[in-house]
C-alpha cells in the first residue's frame, strides 16, 4: 500500500503545488486505488502517475470547501468519457449529493456507470472483508471529517518448503494447515498448524484527516496509526491565525501524532505564503515534537509496509 499526494497546498493552487487530493494505492491483489478529496486539477495530476480512472474504486470527501471538491465533477465525468462502466462509491458529509447532482444537472452531464453516493456521519462509513473505514468529526469552520482506514490482520504464509522437507505432501493437507487445523500423517505424526504457518501480519492503519484545529477526535482517529496525514497550514508563529480559520500549525500536527502514538506523520495543506523551499522549516518544526515527520511531496509514493502482529508498534 502507498500514499500519493496529488496536491499539498491550501486554499488555491500555486505554481509549485496543487490543492488537496490524496491517493491510497490498495494492496496488489485488489488492484485499485481510493481517493481522499478531489481539489481542482486532481485529474490532471493523476495523468502524471500510474493510476488510471478505471481503477478508482472509492472516493472519500472530508468536507465541502472548494479546495477539496472543485475537481470532483470533472473527474467523475472523465471516468465516464473513458468508457468505464464499473461502479464507484462516493462518501462525504451531508451536501455532497446535492453538489454532485446539481453540477451534473446544470451541465447536462451523464455518467455511464453507477455512482453510489453515501452521506456520512460519525462512526463506521464502510467495511468489507479486507478493510474498515471509520469517520469522526473534526474541528473546522464547516462540518469536516477525518477517516481511519483499518486493514484486517492476515494469517502468515504457509512454510511450504519446510513442510515438503519433513514429508508432508502438497495438496489438501496444506489447505487444512493454512486454515488453522492440525493434521495427522499416515506415519502417525501430528503436524501443528502453528508450526506450519509463519507469523501473522497485523492490519495496517492509515489515518487521513481533513482540515482541523487540534481536537480529541483527531487523536482518536490516529491512535497507533502506521501513517497519519495531518494538515499543517501554518508555522507555530501563526497559531492564533490557524485557530481563527480552523487549521493547525506544524507543531500542533506533530503533537497530535505524538499523543496518538502514531508511527509516522506526513504533513500537508500548506498555506500559499510558504514557497517550496519554506517547507523544510515546517518539517523541522514538526520534527521537534515528533521526529518521524515528513512534509509531503506531490507525486511521490509513500510506502506503508506491513509488519508482524508481535512487532513493537511504539
> 257 lies in a domain?
yes
Residue 120 pLDDT level (bands cut at 50, 70, 90): very high
140 appears as a binding residue in the annotation:
yes
Nearest-5° Cα angle at 225, 224 to 227: 145
Output the pLDDT for position 314. Answer: 32
pLDDT in tens, 263-296: 999 999 999 999 999 999 999 999 999 999 999 9
Task: Kindly state the average pLDDT of the residues 248-265.
Answer: 98
Q: Is residue 63 a known part of a binding site?
A: yes
Contact 126, 147 (CB under 8 A): no
Whether residues 27 and 164 share a domain: the answer is no
Which residues, at least 6 apart from 97, have a Cβ–Cβ distance to it below 8 Å? 117, 119
CATH number at residue 295: 3.60.15.10
Give the pLDDT confidence of 153-167 residue by residue, as tens digits.
877 788 899 999 999
Kindly state whether residue 96 falls inside one of the protein's structural domains. Answer: yes
Contact 71, 103 (CB under 8 A): no
Which residue, 173, 171, 170, 126, is CA-closest to 151? 126
| Mean pLDDT value of segment 248-261 | 98
Is the domain of 271 the same as that of 166? no
Give the residue with greater pLDDT, 162 vs 198. 162
For the chain, the domain total comes to 2
- Residue 171 belongs to what domain range? 160-196
Mean pLDDT across the chain: 94
Question: Could you say which of 171, 196, 221 is where a domain stops?
Answer: 196
Residues 172 and 245 in one domain: no
Banded pLDDT at 311 (limits 50, 70, 90): very low
Would you tell me the crossing angle of helices 96-107 and 72-81 to the nearest 10 degrees? 60
The residues carrying an active-site annotation are: 67
Of the pLDDT bands very low, low, confident and very high (cuts 50, 70, 90), residue 255 is: very high
Residues 244 and 284 in one domain: yes
The answer to whether the Cα torsion of 187, 192, 193, 197 is positive or negative is: negative
CA distance 256 to 267: 11
Please tell me the distance from the alpha carbon of residue 233 to that of residue 67, in angstroms, as a whole number. 13
Q: What is the pLDDT of residue 230?
A: 98
Question: Which pLDDT score, from 0 to 100, does residue 307 have?
Answer: 62
Q: What gap in Å lies between CA 300 and CA 14, rounded to an integer?
A: 18
44 is in an annotated binding site: no
Residues 63 and 188 grouped into a single domain: no
Of 134, 169, 196, the residue that ends a domain is 196
| 313 within some domain | no
Rounded to the nearest 5 percent, the helix, strand and coil shares of the chain are 30, 25, 45
Co-location of 270 and 140 in the same domain: yes
Q: Each residue of 71-92: pLDDT tens digit?
A: 999 999 999 999 999 999 999 9
In this prediction, residue 312 has a pLDDT band, given cuts at 50, 70 and 90, of very low
- The answer to whether the CB of 126 falls within 8 A of the CB of 132 is yes
Average confidence (pLDDT) over 104-133: 97
Q: Is residue 47 domain-shared with residue 190, that is, in the same domain?
A: no
Binding residue per annotation — 202? no
In a domain? residue 308: no
Assess whether 182 and 284 both reside in one domain: no
- Say if residue 308's pLDDT is above 60: no
37 is in an annotated binding site: no
pLDDT over threshold 50, residue 309: no
Q: Is residue 311 part of a domain?
A: no
In a shared domain, residues 20 and 92 = yes
Let me know whether 50 and 189 are in one domain: no
> Are residues 190 and 54 part of one domain?
no
Count CA atoms within 13 Å of residue 182 on its CB side. Answer: 8
Residue 313 has what pLDDT? 37
**Any domain includes 312:** no
Q: How far apart are CA 208 and CA 22, in angstroms?
A: 9
How confident is the model at residue 233, as a pLDDT? 98
Distance CA 35, CA 46 (A): 11
Q: Is 280 a domain residue?
A: yes
Q: Which of 18, 17, 35 is nearest to 26 (CA)?
A: 35
Q: How far apart are CA 169 and CA 273, in angstroms?
A: 66
Same domain, 142 and 40: yes
pTM for this entry: 0.87
Amino acid at each position: 500500500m502507498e500514499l500519493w499526494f496529488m496536491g499539498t497546498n491550501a486554499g488555491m493552487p500555486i505554481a509549485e503545488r496543487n490543492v488537496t487530493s490524496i491517493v491510497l494505492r490498495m494492496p496488489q491483489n485488489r488492484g485499485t486505488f481510493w481517493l481522499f478529496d478531489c481539489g481542482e486539477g486532481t485529474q490532471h495530476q493523476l495523468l502524471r502517475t500510474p493510476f488510471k480512472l478505471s481503477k478508482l474504486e472509492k472516493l472519500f470527501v472530508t468536507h465541502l470547501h472548494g479546495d477539496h471538491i472543485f475537481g470532483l465533477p470533472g473527474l467523475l465525468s472523465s471516468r465516464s468519457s473513458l468508457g468505464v462502466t464499473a461502479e464507484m462509491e462516493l462518501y462525504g458529509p451531508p451536501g455532497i449529493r446535492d453538489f454532485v447532482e446539481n453540477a451534473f444537472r446544470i451541465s447536462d452531464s451523464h455518467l455511464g456507470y453507477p455512482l453510489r453516493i453515501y452521506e456520512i456521519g460519525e462512526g463506521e462509513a464502510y467495511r468489507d472483508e479486507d478493510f474498515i473505514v471509520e469517520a469522526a468529526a473534526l474541528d473546522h469552520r464547516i462540518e469536516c471529517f477525518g477517516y481511519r482506514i483499518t486493514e484486517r490482520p492476515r494469517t502468515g504464509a504457509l512454510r511450504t518448503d519446510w513442510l515438503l522437507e519433513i514429508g508432508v505432501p502438497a495438496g489438501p493437507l496444506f489447505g487444512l494447515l493454512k486454515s488453522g487445523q492440525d493434521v495427522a500423517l499416515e506415519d502417525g505424526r501430528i503436524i501443528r498448524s502453528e508450526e506450519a504457518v509463519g507469523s501473522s501480519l497485523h492490519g495496517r492503519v492509515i489515518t487521513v484527516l481533513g482540515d482541523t484545529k487540534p481536537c480529541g477526535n483527531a487523536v482518536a482517529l490516529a491512535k497507533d496509526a502506521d501513517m497519519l496525514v495531518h494538515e499543517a497550514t501554518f508555522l507555530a508563529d501563526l497559531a492564533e491565525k490557524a485557530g481563527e480559520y480552523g487549521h493547525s500549525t506544524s507543531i500542533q500536527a506533530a503533537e497530535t501524532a505524538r499523543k496518538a502514538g502514531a508511527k509516522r506523520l506526513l504533513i500537508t495543506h500548506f498555506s500559499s505564503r510558504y514557497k517550496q523551499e519554506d517547507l523544510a522549516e515546517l518539517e523541522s518544526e514538526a520534527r521537534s515534537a515528533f521526529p518521524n515527520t515528513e512534509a509531503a511531496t506531490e507525486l511521490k509514493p509513500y510506502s506503508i509496509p506491513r509488519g508482524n502482529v508481535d512487532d513493537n508498534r511504539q
